[in-house]
Structure 1
Amino acid sequence: MESASPPSPPPAFLPLGTQVGPWRVMDWAGCGVHGAVYRAVRIGDEHAAPVALKLAMLPRDPRFAREAELLSRQHHPHLPRLIDHGEWQHPDGTLHPYIAMEWVDGVPLYDWARLYRPDSAQVLRLLAQVALALQALHTQEAVHRDVKGANILVRRWDGRVFLTDLGSSTFRGADTLTPPPLPPGTPIYRSPEAWQFAAQHERTATTAYRALPTDDLYALGVTACRLVTGTYPDLGETRRDEHGTWRVESLVLPHALFSARVEPPLRELILRMLSMRPEQRGTAAQLARAMERAATTLTPAHVPSNDRADTSSWQRWLTTVAAVGTLATAMLWVIAGTPEVPLRSAPGGIGASGPADAGPVGLGEAAVSASTEDTPAPSDPGAMVADTPPEPEPGQAKPDAKGRCPHKQQVALNDGCWMKTSFAQEQCESVGGSMYQGACYLPIVSPKRRPSTTVPTTRLPRHHEGAE
């Protein structure tokens, strides 16, 4: 009796040596909801510089043509350079688009901040680089629509910032990716005006919100707030006006943003980006100039050398994460949900003043040393501690009568089967996982389920319902 042939590998787990167009896969580099990234080399020129090969999870995913189109228009120091694009044919016959881009040996933004503890001047210069990348896109009448820490890489050897993942972007003439009312993106980074529009048009299935450059700037403000405090801003109270229209009137900001650890010039620019009135945010070019000017007024803080993470430690950590991620993607497909993250916000609106905590200027320390009223203490780098086990997803695998899951690598938890990984919170949330007791749990679900990129709009969300 012949043994059944092994199943073909999914795009998220290609064996090393697989050929994709003119490229050969050399290493697994990461995985998101829509694509897997590999380090690859050109066949016949293996000694040349590697590329980042991004392969679509789903056949004919239109995001990849969109990203290739935008990158082909740009040659910017803070956007990865497009090298090639095409389609890879899976052994089952489906065609998956791919993009080959400049390889950036970088660290995701929030992870970089935890490792290197930047001061306010460094953060301002870093944010200015992101603003310059946004300026380049906005000049092309494009909007990124998914600015967040996971899509910002800081290159190891020189600290240059790269804004990545343009697949959710829009530009003049681009086709629609998702149904109304909201475009693709990560909920916690959406602007108040986007959520207000969704609430006002929840019964109008044909009316879509048009993202503007000011939406990108608000998302950059959320990113900056999360970077320096470890906590997201939250929508404040909402009310209906005399015409029955929903209005978002304020934001609730973390106390740590008003502590002595965040220098006033940086705080003021974050508040400017988070303004409830889009026109007060200005333009990306104006913000970049303001950030550079503010950075020159600040004296760099001294950080003892033994407080900085050495490169070898980071590389060992990355190797561990990659190994766990490779195992996970080999075993399952992960859907993108909206996990609840137990982050707490301080009361008060955008003009509130918080406690002036004494302490060093280092913002990495601000993120991890804030009071427990603002941020639960992580038990693992990047992980917020949750005491409540995650709820299983619809269609998620369940343990049998003896409490065992289908594979020994899976964990039975709260009547569901999960893959326990060492992903940091940012990575965990971006692939639909849930943090529990310092670890990231990925749901074991049917591979036939298509990842969801939308959230309910029946009411304006609180911050934990749209966490990244």
Structure 2
Amino acid sequence: MGPAGHGVHGAVYRAVRASEAPSTPVALKLALLPRDPRFSREVELLSRVNHPSVPRLLDAGEWQHPADTTHPYLVMEWVDGTPLYDWAQEHASSEEQVVRVLAQLARALEALHAQGAVHRDVKGGNVLVRHADQRAMLTDFGSGIHPGAATLTPPGSFTGTPAYRSAESSLFSLRYMWDPSAQYEDKPSDDLYALGVTAYRLVTGTYPELSDPFRDEMGTWQLGEMASPPPGAIVPGLDPQFDALIVRMLRVHPEDRGTARELAEALEQTAEQLARQHSPASHAAPHEAAPRRGPTWVRFMAASMLLMLSAWAGWEVRDRSQVWPSFFRTESTPPGLEGSDTVGLGDAASRMPPVESPDASVPEMMSMGTLPPPRPGQATPDAKGRCPRQGQLALNGGCWIRLSLEREDCEGSGYVFTNQCYGPVLSNPQRRQPTSEPGSPP
């Protein structure tokens, strides 16, 4: 028994009940912050949902820290499985298998949405594919919301993972960037968009990109449809119906996505058709071909262009390892968990200094909702709101240019805004001041 993972608010352990013989493993999730109200919300949410792709809630309570702080915990069904992106890569999963897994996740969301609840953090890292029967299990309901639950997300922020944020949530931040009291309300359509991002990422190895924002004739910010090509344009031979369903989940207008039930039915029908079209011996073929080279060199060129743009603009680029894409690239594993030794219950919490209980002012996992104000030397729009050159965008009082870079690589080189990466435009790059101190090496 020992640690099995951790997130922003909790640590998960593989544990056994001392009173049971033989003992059956369970998942024990312990709050890192004392009296974290998110745990009571998660307990309530899990108690309302009964679905084979959602871990069963077995128990809940509180644990007394040696420093005399109280940490809530919950006990769930243990899922012996592999993270979604790892599973797809390790098993050379067929197209039919991938479609069935996504259908199971859509069914789990259907059960959740039937309770008026929203998961708010659907992504590959929160999905395990169970070893015993290859069933997809949706996990980590700590960010979820249900009717009557307390609001813990401060105005101007959102809950979830930036790369999976819906188009309407990004558009809300753009339209209300000057209103500090504006509060976005998550809906089932946000979960469906995140499922679409998961599907796109699973199939292509890249994240879908939104189009550049623009103002309509009334001056209201709008977003066009997805700027990225459909998955079928990246992965030749992808089933057209499957391709269309992924694009459907990523539609800018929420009503165009349909419901979780409708998507689940369509995915199940597609899986059945694929099963009839392909024999078992050929199931691995679609995902073993070589068309992955396309995204690899595209990403290499994008990274090269970013380095040149960063040097031209004079903004510092943080050192980081180059991440090369694969057809099913995995999300990062929390540091320190690979091959770690068994530790005692509450070890993660005991390393946290005693703090006061969180309240509504404590932000949940969130991304930047607005771009920062213009920095010294950054170009600004003229009186008519226009930037110096075509293709530059006037946002938050400054001029910005969209960078062809994955959102997960944007940090340190630009800013993530409306699910895209933007870099500042200098007002006079030919006469910019040196960025290094006198006498410092180049």
TM-score by length of 1: 0.65
Instruction: After TM superposition, list the pairs within 5 Å mapping 1:151-190 onto structure 2.
Output: 151-190=126-165
Q: Which of 72, 77, 81 is the equivalent residue of 2:47?
A: 72
Counting aligned pairs with the same residue, the percent is 48
Instruction: After TM superposition, list the pairs within 5 Å mapping 1:37-76 onto structure 2.
Output: 37-76=12-51
Distance 1:94 1:365 in 2: 55
1:151–1:367 distance in 2 versus 1, CA, 3 Å: farther
Deviation at 1:46, TM superposition (A): 4.8
Q: Is the 8 A contact 1:181 1:205 kept in 2?
A: yes
Partner of 1:346: none
Deviation at 1:136, TM superposition (A): 0.4
Distance 1:278 1:139 in 2: 17
Q: Secondary structure at the match of 1:456?
A: coil
Q: Secondary structure at the match of 1:118?
A: coil
Q: Deviations over 1:40-82 (max 9, x none)?
A: 1112225221100111122222221111101111221010000
1:223 aligns with 2:198: yes
Q: Partner amino acid for 1:207? A: A
Q: Partner amino acid for 1:138? A: H
Deviation at 1:167, TM superposition (A): 1.0
1:288 aligns with 2:264: yes
Q: Partner amino acid for 2:271? A: A
If asked which structure has higher relative contact order (CA below 8 Å, sep 6+), I would say 2
Q: Deviations over 1:134-154 (max 9, x none)?
A: 000100000111100011110
Q: Deviations over 1:96-147 (max 9, x none)?
A: 2111000000111111111112222111111110000000010000011110
Distance 1:194 1:366 in 2: 36
Instruction: After TM superposition, list the pairs within 5 Å mapping 1:243-282 onto structure 2.
Output: 243-254=218-229, 257-258=232-233, 259-282=235-258
Q: Is the 8 A contact 1:256 1:374 kept in 2?
A: no
Q: Secondary structure at the match of 1:91?
A: coil
1:127–1:455 distance in 2 versus 1, CA, 3 Å: same
Q: Partner amino acid for 1:456? A: M
Deviation at 1:162, TM superposition (A): 0.8
Deviation at 1:367, TM superposition (A): 8.5
Count of equivalent residues: 339
Q: CA RMSD in A?
A: 3.4
Partner of 2:365: 453
Q: Secondary structure at the match of 1:177?
A: coil
Q: Which of 283, 296, 307 is the equivalent residue of 1:372?
A: 296
Q: Secondary structure at the match of 2:134?
A: coil
Partner of 2:93: 118
Q: Deviations over 1:396-416 (max 9, x none)?
A: xxxxxxxxxxxxxxxxxx799
Q: Is the 8 A contact 1:230 1:375 kept in 2?
A: no
Q: Which of 187, 193, 211 is the equivalent residue of 1:212?
A: 187
Q: Secondary structure at the match of 1:39?
A: strand
Distance 1:229 1:425 in 2: 9
Q: Secondary structure at the match of 2:99?
A: helix
Q: Partner amino acid for 1:244? A: G
Deviation at 1:39, TM superposition (A): 0.7
Distance 1:214 1:116 in 2: 30
Q: Partner amino acid for 2:247? A: L
Q: Judge which range, 261-270 or 224-233, deviates more.
A: 261-270
Partner of 1:33: 8
TM-score by length of 2: 0.69
Partner of 2:74: 99
Q: Is the 8 A contact 2:34 2:70 kept in 1?
A: yes
Q: Secondary structure at the match of 2:332?
A: helix
Deviation at 1:182, TM superposition (A): 3.7
Q: Partner amino acid for 2:197? A: V
Q: Deviations over 1:313-356 (max 9, x none)?
A: xxxxxxxxxxxxxxxxxxxxxxxxxxxxxxxxxxxxxxxxxxxx
Q: Secondary structure at the match of 1:142?
A: coil
Partner of 1:85: 60
1:374–1:106 distance in 2 versus 1, CA, 3 Å: farther
Q: Is the 8 A contact 1:90 1:96 kept in 2?
A: yes
Distance 1:198 1:138 in 2: 24
Deviation at 1:245, TM superposition (A): 2.0
Q: Which of 121, 134, 138 is the equivalent residue of 1:146?
A: 121
Q: Which of 174, 178, 199 is the equivalent residue of 1:199?
A: 174
Q: Secondary structure at the match of 2:60?
A: strand
Distance 2:291 2:111 in 1: 30
Deviation at 1:456, TM superposition (A): 2.3
